[in-house]
Structure 1
């Protein structure tokens, strides 16, 4: 009975923690010289905003990004970044913008995978020593926070391997296209050289001149 009650309390606490966090995971294609912005609402000051992005394919796998608060103040920015994982504290209530810009490419389209997460409560700081439990935190809550941390680490690891897989696939695809067109050009060159040699031989052995009728 005690084990079932503890399991029920753990499930309820985990469900409450999940409801306090809402996230948006998207994948978008950004064309050459294009700027795309996404927005997230913050209901109260002090909330945590998690921002993750990774360029999956296109060019050198880099992108420009910019994060602004509701007052148009730049909180984060970067140029030619391949990926990033940031945590911000929202000190202003309102709409935050997350923009990507692909102005360094004139023809190449970029595929970007990103995640915007807003937490209703500040993240709990880990204890100073392993196994130490704060006075106001029970052992059950400590286990839930540890489980949540492990799940976050697993999610980040999955994102890392997912990005590596997509970039490797894009590199293989680009190499395959280059080899295909190289083979086509090489074949056309061989055919053109053969036709030219036949034409030269025919011209060399064919006598051209005028015929006179008596």
Structure 2
């Protein structure tokens, strides 16, 4: 009898482990990752456009930053699939924009550097899609599935906890990506300021040396002329 109870507990544990694995597969496998993060060089005097496909009733967040380049500014335009201009930024260094709900189709994201004739820009942008269709499809798979009464847990509770952990991890990844872009831009500004300080320090040093040499030469000529007149 004791052996039968032990086998029952082992079977329940294996069942719980299998359900956990199935939960992870459903949570991660049925939730396609539509988020993109991209860094590119925007040449001077040009405009670059990117396209992002969305479904109806989703939400989309667009974050962008100018990491390097003179002025650290670009123009940004977001155009809907129906052709309407939703967002228009002019000469901004960064921006965060939300579209909720989205339309079914391709959104166009354009970055403009046509106002700059000499300086290229390094731009980072991230598009975050919160899809409702993938969440709904995953929930349909869990409607009639429950755990054994001896465990005291339901698959829906486990799925909710894993879904919460997934959302927190995804948001953490997004924040870390933004922090990396902040660090890259700060490093660029630091290196640019260091170069300027070093350059003008060298210029000032050369000017001081030139003034010193000129003064010494002038004094020598003055004393030489005085000596000749006295003789």
Provide the residue aligned with 2:15 in structure 1. Answer: 2
Equivalences for residues 18-167 of structure 1 within 5 A: 18=31, 20-42=32-54, 44-79=55-90, 80-93=92-105, 95-103=106-114, 105-118=116-129, 120-122=131-133, 138-167=156-185
1:92-113 Cα shifts (integer Å, max 9, x gaps): 33x2210111345454432211
For the pair 1:187 / 2:205, whether they are aligned, the reply is: yes
Structure 1 pair 143–150 and aligned structure 2 pair: CA distance change class (3 A):
same
Q: Which runs of 5+ in 2 are unaligned?
A: 1-13, 136-142, 144-154
* Cα pair 1:48 1:123 within 8 Å, conserved: no
Give the CA RMSD over aligned residues. 3.0
TM-score, length-scaled by structure 1 = 0.77
* Cα pair 1:23 1:117 within 8 Å, conserved: yes
Structure-1 separation of matches of 2:93 and 2:214: 50
Q: Which runs of 5+ in 1 are unaligned?
A: 125-135, 210-214
Match 1:175 to one of 193, 211, 217: 193
1:102-141 Cα shifts (integer Å, max 9, x gaps): 34545443221112344553586xxxxxxxxxxx692233
* Cα pair 2:20 2:158 within 8 Å, conserved: no
Structure-2 separation of matches of 1:87 and 1:27: 22
Structure-2 separation of matches of 1:15 and 1:120: 13
Structure 1 pair 123–81 and aligned structure 2 pair: CA distance change class (3 A):
farther
Structure-2 separation of matches of 1:188 and 1:84: 46
Structure 1 pair 116–22 and aligned structure 2 pair: CA distance change class (3 A):
same
Structure-2 separation of matches of 1:63 and 1:36: 11
TM-score, length-scaled by structure 2 = 0.72
Structure with a larger share of its residues in strand: 1
Give 3-state SS (helix, strand or coil) of 1:49's partner.
Answer: strand
Structure-1 separation of matches of 2:133 and 2:89: 25
